[in-house]
């Protein structure tokens, strides 16, 4: 059964304005800054696994809950219901309010006194950040001329990459500045450790950007589409079931990939410290710079490869994703086994370039095979599965293995190898099986639009 048999007609192209104008590009720039703050706030905790364990007396399993479960489960609980509001509400105000909430929650981590306070702050951060990407893409689509959307989305994606890198680079530099600070005892609050000062500093700018966004960013007029209120979630699920040959396999593969990427991202800083003695002040800046450079190279190389394949193959986007993840697997396996940190980070750099090449192709695959008014909800459902299952299982699986299977901290390197070998091969197989139904759906949507 295809989308046409469900009565879902192809959405006609929307009429685009003659030019975007400086106000539209200003909106894109602000949303790129918001994306940067989102990934900066969510990623910095992974730098402080070791001091967090020491100062709060936590196990690896408890740390993994802060890195994954506390953030990801609230994201799906809040994100899916809010995806309908993105289609009907004032998106500018929604993004600004969520930015203020997650910035406040990040700052409160700086005065937390125990595991459960940190857990609550991470939950609040995950819930408020869950709507940002889908809402931002919706705003950009209406604020920017259709022919300029790839450029606009690239600018927004740069914010994501810069934020991810700054969480390591800036977090590590700030921790280095505060490394020799003794704990501060505040009346009525308790003891504040040096690493907590980083959260206080990183949380404050978001409150200022939220106010700036409310004052200076206009809510763009919604353009195009045949269902202004969007599709109810029942019809969205009906579409996914009808096209399960692609979506079930692709969604499962992406969840497995997210278990690997989130697990590695959460525990790699601890790996460098446990294996090579690189603390946050050393590993953070080096990893941040490497991540930023490699992500930029891989992102644009992957987009170009997808364009070249797309001239000859209907399955071009999933083909690029399969190649990228397949080539990255052996690199991720051998990197933790290297005898010194420079060899490990060099191999991880190449793996980062290759792995991220599939990112643009994945987003394009979802957009090009989905009715216009379903894209927000389907993207949110994919993200919810990846964030909730992958974001929870990745850090948790590593934490459980290090606590109960390989309890020596030096064995973390072998746990990271095992994680890749457990989840990536089945993901590659599912991705390969999804290519044929994807190509059929892609061609059907293309032919329907042309007709």
Calpha distance 207→203 (Å, rounded): 8
Residues in the chain: 451
Map out the domains of the chain with their CATH numbers: 21-221 (1.20.1250.20), 228-451 (1.20.1250.20)
Short-list 59, 62, 66, CA closest to 45: 66
Region 273-287: mean pLDDT is 85
Alpha-carbon distances of 261 from 62, 354, 386, rounded to whole Å: 19, 13, 10
Quote the CA–CA distance of 29 and 144 in Å, as a whole number: 12
Looking at 5-9, 33-37, 176-180, 292-296, which range is the least confident one? 5-9
What token pair was written down for 382?
């994919």
**Residue 186: what are its φ and ψ, rounded to 5°?**
-110, 130
| Mean pLDDT over the full length of the chain | 83
Query: Which tokens go with 424?
Result: 């990536």
Query: In which band, very low, low, confident or very high, does the pLDDT at 150 lie, cut at 50, 70 and 90?
Result: low
Give CA–CA dist 379/376, Å, rounded: 5
pLDDT in tens, 309-352: 877 888 888 998 999 999 999 999 999 999 999 999 999 999 98
At 178-208, the pLDDT tens digits run: 878 888 888 878 888 888 888 989 888 999 9
Cα–Cα distance for residue pair 166/40, rounded to 1 Å: 6
Give the pLDDT band of residue 15 (cuts 50, 70, 90).
very low
Distance CA 369, CA 243 (A): 10
Give me the pLDDT at residue 14, please.
40
What span, in angstroms and rounded, lies between the C-alpha atoms of 295 and 352?
Answer: 7
Compute CA distances 31 → 10, 90, 146, 273, whole Å.
Answer: 29, 15, 17, 34
């Amino acid at each position: 059964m295809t989308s046409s048999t469900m009565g879902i007609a192809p959405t006609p192209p929307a009429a685009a304005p003659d030019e975007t104008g400086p106000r539209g590009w200003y909106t894109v720039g602000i949303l790129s800054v918001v994306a940067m703050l989102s990934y900066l706030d969510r990623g910095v905790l992974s730098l402080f696994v070791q001091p967090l364990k020491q100062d709060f007396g936590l196990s690896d399993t408890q740390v993994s809950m802060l890195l994954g479960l506390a953030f990801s489960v609230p994201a799906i609980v809040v994100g899916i219901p809010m995806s309908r509001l993105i289609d009907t509400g004032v998106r500018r105000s929604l993004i600004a309010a969520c930015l203020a909430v997650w910035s406040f929650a990040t700052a409160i981590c700086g005065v937390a006194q125990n595991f459960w306070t940190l857990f609550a702050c991470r939950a609040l951060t995950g819930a408020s950040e869950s709507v940002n990407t889908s809402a931002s893409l919706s705003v950009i689509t209406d604020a920017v001329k259709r022919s300029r959307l790839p450029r606009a989305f690239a600018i927004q994606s740069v914010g994501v990459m810069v934020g991810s890198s700054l969480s390591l680079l800036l977090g590590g530099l700030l921790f280095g500045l505060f490394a020799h600070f003794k704990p501060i005892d505040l009346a009525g609050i308790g003891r504040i450790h040096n690493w907590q000062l980083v959260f206080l500093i990183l949380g404050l700018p978001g409150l200022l950007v939220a106010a700036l966004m409310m004052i200076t960013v206009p809510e763009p007029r919604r353009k195009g589409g045949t269902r202004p209120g969007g599709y109810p979630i029942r019809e969205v699920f009906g579409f996914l079931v009808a096209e399960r040959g692609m979506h079930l396999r692709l969604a499962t593969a992406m969840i497995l990939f997210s278990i690997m990427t989130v697990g590695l991202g959460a525990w790699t800083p601890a790996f460098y410290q446990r294996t090579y003695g690189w603390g946050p002040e050393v590993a953070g800046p080096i990893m941040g710079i490497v991540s930023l450079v490699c992500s930029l190279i891989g992102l644009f190389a992957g987009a170009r490869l997808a364009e070249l394949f797309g001239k000859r193959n209907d399955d071009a986007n999933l083909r690029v994703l399969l190649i990228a993840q397949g080539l990255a697997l052996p690199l991720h396996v051998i990197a933790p086994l290297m005898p010194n940190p420079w060899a490990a980070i060099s191999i991880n750099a190449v793996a980062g370039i290759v792995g991220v090449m599939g990112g643009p192709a994945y987003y394009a695959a979802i957009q090009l095979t989905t009715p216009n008014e379903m894209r927000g909800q389907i993207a949110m459902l994919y993200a919810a599965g990846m964030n909730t299952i992958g974001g929870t299982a990745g850090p948790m699986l590593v934490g459980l293995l290090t606590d109960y299977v390989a309890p020596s901290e030096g064995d973390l390197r072998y746990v990271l190898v095992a994680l890749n070998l457990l989840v990536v091969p089945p993901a590659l197989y599912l991705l390969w099986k999804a290519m044929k139904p994807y190509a059929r759906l892609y061609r059907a949507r293309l032919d329907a639009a042309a007709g």
